[in-house]
Each structure stands twice: as C-alpha cells, then as structure tokens.
Amino acid sequence: RHLAAAVVIGAVVSLGTFLIAARIFAATVAVPDVGRAYAMLVGLLGCVLSGLICAKLFPPKREVVETAADPAWRLAAMQQLAGDTGTIGRIEDLPPQVIAELKELGLYEQFAAYDAGQLAPATSGKEA
C-alpha cells in the first residue's frame, strides 16, 4: 500500500517538475535542446524531492539493531562447513588482507583456535 503511494507520489512530483520546467525553459531558452536538458535536470531534482517526501510520509517499518553474534553459532557454522567440505581450510593459507579483515571483525582468534584444534568439533553422538 505504501509502495504504491510512493510510486504515485514519485511519478507526480518528478513528472510535474519536469513538465513545468520544460514549459518555463521552452519560453526562456533560445536553443530548445538546451531547454529540454535543463528541464531534465529539474526533473531529477523532482525525483530527489519525491524521495524526501516519501521518506517523511512513510518511515521505515523495521529497526536494525546490531548485536554481538553468539560464538556458539559461529562454532556451529564452522563445524557445518567442515562437515560439508571436509575442512574449513588453514588460516595460514589466507592472504594478508583477509587476515587483517578477520582481525578487524574480531573473528581471527576464533578461526585460529578452530584451526589449531582448540575448538574441536562437538561429536553428534553417532558412531560410524
């Protein structure tokens, strides 16, 4: 419902500003192509204006909250990856840029501990 209203608002405001600007520039600019180009620029400003109007009328419905991820979830994901592929790879094989990014995200220690076997995969209780 809000999406349809936003589309209508966007079309009316942007097309309206373009058509009004086209009439004004057609009467004031000597070269018609230049007048149409200016009108298109004003139409783009109309698009921005319609975006601002819709942002005020229809605030976001969801709120994104960043929280720390549960380390147990990460361990389970690594175990699943190791189970699917046989390994998660060796941390020493990663390029320096990836290692720097892992450290920046606070994930390096967990991957290094898993790689070193300190976070051994939990047994599922099934014997082969």
Domain ranges of the chain: 2-57, 71-116
pLDDT tens track for 8-28: 999 999 999 999 999 999 889
Closest CA to 24 of 35, 13, 40: 35
Percent of the chain with pLDDT over 70: 90
Give me the pLDDT at residue 118, please.
Answer: 53
pLDDT tens track for 95-121: 889 889 888 888 888 888 877 775 554
Closest CA to 58 of 4, 6, 11: 6
Q: Which amino acid is present at 93?
A: D
Give me the pLDDT at residue 64, please.
Answer: 74
d(CA 105, CA 98): 10
Give me the pLDDT at residue 69, please.
Answer: 67
